[in-house]
Amino acid sequence: MAGGVSTPELAAAVSDAGGLGFLGAGYKDAAGVAADIAAVRSHTARPFGVNIFAPPGDADPDAVARYEALLRLESERLGVPLGRPRHHDDGWEAKLDVAAAERVPVVSFAFGCPPRPAVDDLHDAGAAVWVTVTTPAEARAAARADADALVVQGVEAGAHRGSFDDEASGDIGLLALLQLVRAQVGLPLVATGGIATAEGVAAVLAAGAVAACLGTAFLRAREAGTAPVHRASLGTEDPTALTRAFTGRTARGIANRFLLEHSADAPSAYPDVHHITAPLRAAARRGARAQRPRPAAPLGRAGARAHARRVGWGVRGGAVGRRATRAARRRRALALGRRPFVALRRTADHHRPLGGSVTAMPRRKMSQNCSAMARWLIRPRGSYHCGA
């Protein structure tokens, strides 16, 4: 799990518990990835994996500029400047080189499939290559590229969809996808999305997976680098939704105000949008302000009016009243349980971290350390699972 959640300590703890811990290479430079690999090795002699983002497709600069302009009021409200949009491949070649040079046992990929020569190089370095797929077509492409295993990601999964093409992102549930992929591709399948209990692990094994991959379930582990505000949100019943609002790539996150107000406008433009919103997200982590349902008189009367117009609230005589604008209609649709523009799910007694999925880990288990939790997950069949 990229973004500081999958620490070397977490990856090592999962591996030590009998799973296969993963380091997220995304958002880091190659030197940082190499340092993390060294840190895992200082904690454990067990195998582990590194997850690398495949290079993104092109982004439309005009669409990026339009979204940036829309976010300016957000930036003024929070008093945080927007980040500069940048388009890049996240150090793709350099990270492949590090993974090969460090002889990482398993190298997994999200957002696309490495080309055959890159897979061959990793094989020559002794690595197994796993590719995240969200559709049967992606599974066939990964098999043609000589992947060793497929990480079959259902739409339930927390955070980014691993789809090859964000514009053609698969929205198939895990159980259906496992069956579809298994019918077409003979590779070992690692199931991921919405699994957080021993019974969930047993279910995907029964459906033909050789292992289960869990993300959200580890976000509250002591070893995880999860921000306190995200940890706190684990216990809420807020629904999750798919959105591009935060990074320009489809991801499942908690349906907070920012997500609800910006999903309809957010372009498919990763990592450009990720860089624009990064300071806003950092501020939200510090102050949890993005979670607040309504802004408190942010910019004086003129600013409040401008912001209110933008987000669909009317200002009358200094009071903020509701108006039948698009944002309000979205909220109303949500309240009525309809699907306004994003897929939403609501279930009881679940944890929903920001960027996390809907899963059912009892809170007692969530607060335990990673090793204890991993052993509990492994219980049903002595099989293994992996943390992303």
> What is the contact surface with ligand FMN in residues (CB under 6 A)?
1-3, 5, 24, 26, 51, 110, 132, 153, 156-160, 162, 192-195, 213-217, 355-357, 359, 388
- Amino acid, single-letter form, for residue 1: M
Locate 111 and state its tokens.
């957002």
Minimum CB–partner distance for residue 25 and ligand FMN (Å): 8
Distance CA 271, CA 276 (A): 9
Helix (H, G, I), strand (E, B) or coil at 362: coil
Q: 320 with 304: CB under 8 angstroms?
A: yes
- Please say which residue, 51 or 75, places its beta carbon nearer to ligand FMN: 51
Q: 280 with 75: CB under 8 angstroms?
A: yes
H helical segments located in the chain: 8-16, 30-43, 61-78, 92-101, 116-124, 136-144, 174-184, 198-206, 228-233, 257-262, 272-287, 300-311, 326-335, 363-366, 370-378
- Please say which residue, 73 or 129, places its beta carbon nearer to ligand FMN: 129
Minimum CB–partner distance for residue 5 and ligand FMN (Å): 5
- Please say which residue, 105 or 314, places its beta carbon nearer to ligand FMN: 105
Beta bridge partners of 387: 214
Minimum CB–partner distance for residue 69 and ligand FMN (Å): 28
Minimum CB–partner distance for residue 2 and ligand FMN (Å): 3
- Please say which residue, 150 or 327, places its beta carbon nearer to ligand FMN: 150
- Please say which residue, 19 or 194, places its beta carbon nearer to ligand FMN: 194
Q: Distance from CA of residue 207 to its chain's centroid? A: 24
Minimum CB–partner distance for residue 111 and ligand FMN (Å): 8
Minimum CB–partner distance for residue 363 and ligand FMN (Å): 16
Find the residue with minimal CB distance to ligand FMN. 215
Q: 134 with 161: CB under 8 angstroms?
A: yes
- Please say which residue, 119 or 159, places its beta carbon nearer to ligand FMN: 159
Helix (H, G, I), strand (E, B) or coil at 225: coil
